[in-house]
A and B are shown apart, each in its own frame.
Chain A
Amino acid sequence: MTTLLASPIAMLPALVAEYVDFAATHFDELVVLTIQHALLAADTIAIAVPIAVTLGVATTYDDRAATVILWLAGIAMTIPSLALFGLLIPFLGIGSPPVIFALVLYSQLPVIRNTYVGLTKIDEATLSAGRGLGMTRRQRLRRIQLPIAMPVILAGVRNAVVIVIGVAAVGAYVGADGLGEYIFEGIRTGNTTMIVVATIAVSLLALAVDYTFGVVEQYLRLRNGETIDQALGTRFLTTLLSVRNTHQ
């Protein structure tokens, strides 16, 4: 199938043609796998974000707790994914559950860290005004700190999603759905094309989700009154949502 001596550049057009051909013939299956992959990531994020934001809020209350929580979340990220899946199988069986559990763990650090940073970097005068006007600590958190920190928290979530989409591919090894199935099947059958196409699909999915979150993040920053260079998607979104101003 491949000639070892041929220069990779000279082979490129032939390879690309091969990948396109593979993608075209397996299109339906690729779409299904991509959707499964995205759903797995979405499930993970839906579970991970509430936990991480809660922990992030907790870190702002106590410096010592902050150190411990961030340290543990950092440790969690260093555990190799395959080892973690293996350790979880006795408790959670095979398939998606151990994978989601592990991915939830991996997404903690970026979200906790950004929640902490977002909540603590808020302008002192704004908080002082909230306090002076008679907001309780919880009201300040809900009405001032969280909305202002939202873009920063979202940047952490965005970070986590990209990690999750990448690592989720490994989940196929323990039976989780997603594009990882093609990668492992490619490895098993020596089908490089299959591996490459699935990998590109994983990357494209990650890039698309990253961009979308980036646009939402920018939109939230604009709403908070920050001045930024807007991405094309952000300009589109703000135009789309500018009805808000005339509507209320």
Chain B
Amino acid sequence: MIEFDSVTKVYPDGTTAIEDISFTVEEGTTTVLVGPSGCGKTTTMRLVNRLEEPTDGAVYFDGENTRSVDEIELRRNIGYVIQEIGLFDHMTVGENIATVPELKGWDEARIDDRIDELLELMALPREFRDQYPTELSGGQRQRVGVARALAADPDVLLMDEPFGALDPITRDDLQDEFLAIQDRINTTIIFVTHSINEALKMGDKIAIFDVGEIVQYDTPHEILANPATEFVEDFIGENRLLKQLSITPVSDVMDPVEAHADQFDDVGGTAAAADGGERLSDPPSPSTDLRSSFITLLEADRSMSPVVEDGEVVGVITESGIRSHFRDGTEGA
């Protein structure tokens, strides 16, 4: 969908932001560009909607060199969210969201419906439509920012540290919500962050930047399991195993129910087990991450737990299962 072909960007003052970068962003995936500040990740993102022009090399959008496309037209087909949000404070929330559809000349009724649709998507109350952005909290403002970026149903969404200025709790909520939204809209997303944890959480693919170059471009699992260089290892930081647990869903590790049928007094649906521990009030589901499932096991003092989905036991997660999964997957982590 988006292809960087040996792209170099040198600023007029002589600083080289990125040098000879090549990578491809697949359609419908979220690619996170992550690295310390000044590594060129934001510049790389801004090359996509031509807020920056490459000094050398080319960026292709759907196989077409972006330089041969009208930049205004290009930007209207690419959503853009920035850390500072940049809402238009003199316009209502509705008018803010309507920006790109209006620029594209949609008719009023269509814009009107679209605003309501987006407010709902971003879990914002309908009354916000006629309010001004300054009346909203930081988290609500960024929801409007995302809604505005998605308004004209762009093929690609660029997000430059979108949750960076929010408090940790709001950030976490928005990340979770955004992951859910992303499943529904299936847009190709390029996401810039300096936080490896955010990258691991949000990305299907992660490009780790050192100064001006990509040192590893891989899935979160692969990056955690096999960091390509010492820089990547340092950047991931401590608790690599814990981070792996956080991004691995229970479904990757769970055993079929039949394998443990004798251990449960009622496989048919309740979460009670016969291994001596406490009864689980909130058993994990297949999409729960291993870290919280593991904590659930520890807290209940149990070695295994049923995995429940829609009131049905669909599998069994065991402590030994988790252990052996990571013994196979990593060495010495």
Contacts and interface: CB of A to CB of B under 8 A. Distances in A.
Interface string B62-75: 00000000001111
- The size bracket of the interface on A is 20 to 34
A54 interface: no
Nearest to B75: A134
A132 B72 contact: no
B43 to A, nearest CB: 14
Given A125-B82, A248-B130, A139 B87 contact: no
Interface string A113-133: 000000000011111111111
B132 interface: yes
Contact of A133 (B75, B89, B90, B130): B75
State the majority secondary structure of interface residues on A: helix
Chain B contact-residue range equals 20 to 34
A224 B90 contact: yes
A186 interface: no
A135 B76 CA distance: 8
B99 interface: yes
A133 to B, nearest CB: 5
B89 A132 contact: no
A133 B85 contact: no
A125 B84 contact: yes
Contacts of A148: 89-90
Contacts of A67: none
A225 interface: yes
Given A144-B90, A248-B130, 19 more contacts: A123-B86, A125-B84, A126-B86, A128-B86, A129-B85, A129-B86, A129-B87, A131-B51, A132-B51, A132-B80, A133-B99, A133-B149, A134-B74, A135-B99, A135-B103, A136-B72, A223-B132, A225-B90, A225-B133
Give me the 10 closest cross-chain CB pairs, A-B, nearest first: A129-B86, A125-B84, A225-B134, A134-B75, A132-B80, A134-B76, A225-B89, A125-B86, A224-B90, A147-B90
8 contacts: A125-B84, A128-B51, A129-B85, A133-B76, A133-B80, A134-B73, A223-B90, A225-B90
Interface of A: 123-136, 139, 143-144, 147-148, 223-225, 245, 248
